[in-house]
Amino acid sequence: MLIFAVPKYFPLLNFKNKSEMAKTKLLFITHEMSPFLELTKISEITRQLPQAMQDKGFEIRILMPRFGNINERRNRLHEVIRLSGMNIIINDNDNPLIIKVASIPAARMQVYFLDNEEYFQRKYVFADKDNKFYDDNDERSIFFCKGALETVKKLGWSPDVVHCHGWMSALVPAYLKTLYKDDPTFKNSKVVYSVYEDDMIEKLNDSFASKAVMNGMTTEQTAAYLPADITSLNIGAIGYSDAVVLASETINAEVLKFVKKAAKPTLEYISTSDYENYYNLYEEISNEEMVSLA
């Protein structure tokens, strides 16, 4: 009988050369990435990991918000007209979605930026000049997660694996497993969520979980995201994910307990920049036939 084990790390496996088979399509959703925005170690990982996977033959797409402190001229961002023009409804309000793109010439990778004048055109990222957490960070997160998936649909590109980085992407796993579970673009997609050391001490708006409910969803499907702090965001995302990456040496104890109880494929923290185990994780969960790791 074929089994899918849950190892503490993924051993090196022998796979066919990617040129001998269809390329695995890998989507990264993150709120930061070097050199565009560098807030935490997430920016370094989301810059190096996609390139490492592309070098191994994966087909890569990357999505992130276009925060106001990202210089368009310096980074050569330009609007993608065919992708822009959608509206994301949050709390009965229509919010226009503008898509821009930039290239990283050295890596031959394109990054898609989600923009909205009301949510992202600010000098600061998550807090104002007085370090006051923005009251609408909940809606900004909902807009980004829903907008990212709608953008991928419009691209006409079906990812085999969706890898989410950072608390701002925490709703993506829930949307993929509920709202988009039968959508042709995502019905075969597997989702990976990376857990980092707590980097948000504030809470989102108390109505975050209810605002996150889209047409076709129920309040029960976002209940795990209450009380809208970093712990519940991580637990909510992990609950809907197919695999988990422990991306920091120090992980919240409650979150770590939930990961162990969930018994999902888990990539333990690795202090080096060796991304071989990520390769094996992506290959394992995207493989239609479960492979024994015994």
Contacts of 114 (CB under 8 A, 6+ apart): 63, 64, 65, 66, 97, 98, 99, 120, 143, 144, 147, 148, 151
State the amino acid at position 16 in one-letter form: K
What is d(CA 222, CA 227) in angstroms, rounded to the nearest whole number? 11
Interval 205-243: pLDDT, tens: 999 999 999 999 999 999 999 999 999 999 999 999 999
DSSP letter, residue 222: G
pLDDT of 274 > 90? The answer is: no
Interval 153-189: pLDDT, tens: 999 999 999 999 999 999 999 999 999 999 999 999 9
What is d(CA 264, CA 243) in angstroms, rounded to the nearest whole number? 6
Q: Would you tell me how many other CB atoms lie within 10 Å of the CB of residue 244?
A: 23
Of 5-19, 89-103, 127-141, 224-238, which gets the smallest average pLDDT?
Answer: 5-19
Q: What sign has the CA pseudo-torsion 165, 168, 171, 172?
A: negative
Of 198-207, 251-260, 279-288, which gets the smallest average pLDDT?
Answer: 279-288
- Per-residue model confidence (pLDDT) at position 21: 59
Averaged pLDDT for residues 131-140 = 97
- Domain boundary assignment for the chain: 18-286
Write down the CATH number for the domain with range 18-286. 3.40.50.2000
- Its pTM stands at 0.90
Assess contact for 45 and 165: CB atoms under 8 A: yes
- Per-residue model confidence (pLDDT) at position 294: 29
Q: In terms of Cα–Cα distance, which of 86, 81, 84, 28 is closest to 58?
A: 28
pLDDT of 96 > 60? The answer is: yes
